[in-house]
Structure 1
Amino acid sequence: MQDTLSPPPDFSGLWIPLVTPFRDEAIDHPALARLVEQLAPTGIAGFVVCGSTGESAALDSDEQLAVLDTVARTARSLPRIMGISGYHLGKTREWVRRLADRELAGLLVPAPSYIRPSQAGLIDWFSEIAGAGAVPLLIYDIPYRTGSTLTRETLLALADHPLIRAIKDCGGDAGKTRALIADGRLQVLAGEDAQMFSTVAEGGAGAIAASAHLQTERFVKVLRLLREGSLADARAQWQPLLPLIEALFSDANPGPLKAILANEGLMQDDLRAPMTRASDELRERLLEIQAALSRP
């Protein structure tokens, strides 16, 4: 267990859930390093590695560790959160123990997929995983992927655990979001990109936003202005980003995002099945939006 006298971890700010570049079916580590080098100096809080944006379900355990190591070597000074998932508790605990020597800031953990346990079962799931190591845990509340809804009462109960410190909020319940912010024990990070403005404006800690691979400094500025209380200036920076966010999520993530990153020469436009590339029409629309955002 973490030393109770140590300062609590801080997950505030903008975190980038990294895509995983591929070339000829294999992970393209040079492309991953280029991407990390480009994003690292933009003012972001850190990286989320092997989340859903990183197509982690299509990576085996050795590939996931290799991705994590590339990110760590490339941006040593920035903290890293590792995404983990599964539905076998014993194997998930063992994976947490295997990650223990990787100098992680946190673990991003969803409910077990498909099983749909009771609320008591969900409390046990997160508590057991948090107890398997000494790394802070961020709950990934995303019922449309897992099939499980974490109630307000369950999340407030989990907030008592000394190693459960934050939540990536994709729960779709504004009342629950506000209750967690008001409670204050869990740092609330917007997980739906379009909700990051409202979440932070109401007191949330930040966001984990795939869209922020693009226009990164502008996203960082929005959150900074909100923290400073400059609501009008933040809104002026934010509103032009909304068409970009909408277009990036009009098809399955990260297909549209990879299309634009490939167009910028950062990687190949490759995904692992069953994920598919964005259409040519969507790519062109995204390029137009990007061009409009880049005009002075």
Structure 2
Amino acid sequence: MNDKLAGVFIPVVTPFTDQKVDLGKLAFNIQKANQTPVRGYMPLGSNGEFAHMSDEEQLLVYKTVKENAAKDKVLIAGIARQSAYSTIEFGKRIEDIGADFVSILTPNYFASFMNDTALIKYYTVIADALSIPVLMYNCPKFASGVTISPEVVKILSSHPNIMGMKDTSTGNISKYLAVKDENFDVLAGSITNFLEGLKAGASGGVLSMANYLPEACCLLYEMFKQGNIAEAERLSDELIRLSKNATDKYGVAGVKASCDIFGYKGGEVRNPLIDCNEQQRKEIEKAFIEAGYLKLND
């Protein structure tokens, strides 16, 4: 296991104000999160609304995270583009700034053609071209259903510059862990599959919930590492239930509303996404109160 990939990572949200990237709010969030036990940050992912930003905006976001992150935090930069060529070009710009890893969502515009052969070629060409270690990112719901197969993991996990993957799918994490190379790490991509993944050998998780409840996510990880499995299962069930009752219905907008509730700065989502309305925010807040994570006067 690569120590840099052991623990809980925040898939950093990008705050917008009047639809413009708000770097001040982003810096505030990173500085606040530095005080928690999270292992590191993954900006420019799905929660970061990378698909809604230009290359220049993405670079500003990444630089802000890097400049404000504590020195002991690990940085994973999302660099996915629809072509290997464009992904490499953007990845080289991230290399110039510096990162510990780059994360690459499966290409998906031509989803019906993204078979094992295409995905193996895509990731191999990128990993050969970049010096920063590559993490694959498997998230079918954000990739038109494109799913990395266990066979692709079996082949690519032996590549010297493909060091792991983030998996945000249902029912696949154990399959990936069963076939991967020993030097390849798998990160759970959701609180829903986090404990399941840890039990199967995952090194950690990139959890949207860590944007607003980082301590609880880290506590679950520590309970598991210390062998307190019964307590870990209880907490996992609680957090999964909380996520379903609070944020899952509203996606990134729900995550950002939750950030606001817990003292972080979620900011707006970017059009065409729609912010939670006041009633939806009250529903989210009520779920946190009922679960004991928020007091009525907070």
**TM-score, normalised by the number of residues in structure 1:** 0.90
1:3 aligns to what? Answer: none
Deviation at residue 178 of structure 1 after TM alignment: 4.3
Paired position in structure 1 for 2:119: 122
Alpha carbon RMSD of aligned pairs, Å? 2.1
TM-score normalized by the length of structure 2: 0.90
Q: How has the CA–CA distance of structure 1 residues 295 and 120 changed in structure 2, closer, same or farther, with 3 Å as cutoff? A: closer
CA apart distance, 1:252: 4.2
Partner of 1:69: 63
| Match in the other structure for 1:158 | 156
C-alpha contact (below 8 Å) 1:180/1:188 kept by paired residues: no
| Counterpart position of 2:29 | 35
Letter paired with 1:67: V
Give the total of aligned pairs: 289
The alpha-carbon deviation at position 150 of structure 1 amounts to 1.8
Residues 135 and 163, structure 1, Cα contact 8 Å, conserved in 2: yes
Change (3 A) 1:290 1:216: same
CA distance in 2, matches of 1:248, 1:161: 40
Offset at residue 295 of structure 1 (A):
6.2
Whether the aligned pair in 2 keeps the contact of 1:159 and 1:165 (CA below 8 Å) is yes
CA distances 1:130-164 after superposition (whole Å, capped 9, x unpaired): 11211111110122322322211111100110111
2:10 to 16, 19, 24: 16
When structure 1 is superposed on structure 2, of 56-65 and 268-277 the one drifting more is 268-277
1:177–1:86 distance in 2 versus 1, CA, 3 Å: same
Query: Which of 75, 83, 102 is equivalent to 2:78?
Result: 83
Structure 2 distance, partners of 1:14, 1:196, is 10
2:222 partner amino acid = R
Separation in structure 2 between the aligned mates of residue 29 and residue 150 of structure 1, nearest angstrom: 34
Amino acid of the structure 2 residue aligned with 1:164: I
Q: 1:243 touches 1:289 (CA, 8 Å); kept in 2?
A: no
Q: After the TM superposition, which of the residue ranges 108-117 and 42-51 deviates more from structure 2? A: 108-117
Residue 187 of structure 1: aligned partner: 185
More divergent stretch after superposition (7-16 vs 218-227): 7-16
| Distance in 1 (alpha carbons) for counterparts of 2:214 and 2:2 | 27
Tell me if structure 2 keeps the 8 A contact 1:111–1:148. yes
In structure 1, the gaps of 5 or more residues are 1-6
Q: Verify the 8 A CA contact 2:170 2:193 in the aligned structure 1.
A: no
User: 2:255 is matched by which residue type in structure 1?
Assistant: L
- Where in structure 2 are there 5+ consecutive unaligned residues? none
Could you tell me which residue of structure 1 aligns to residue 218 of structure 2? 220
Aligned to 1:294: 293
Percent identity (aligned): 26
Residue 34 to residue 9, structure 1, CA distance change in 2 (3 Å): same
Q: Deviations over 1:228-263 (max 9, x none)?
A: 211022223333222321134433421011112234
Measure, in 2, the Cα distance between the counterparts of 1:23 and 1:270. 6
Q: Single out whichever of 17-26 and 147-156 deviates more from structure 2.
A: 147-156
Tell me: CA distance 1:98–1:9, structure 2 relative to 1, closer, same or farther (3 Å): farther
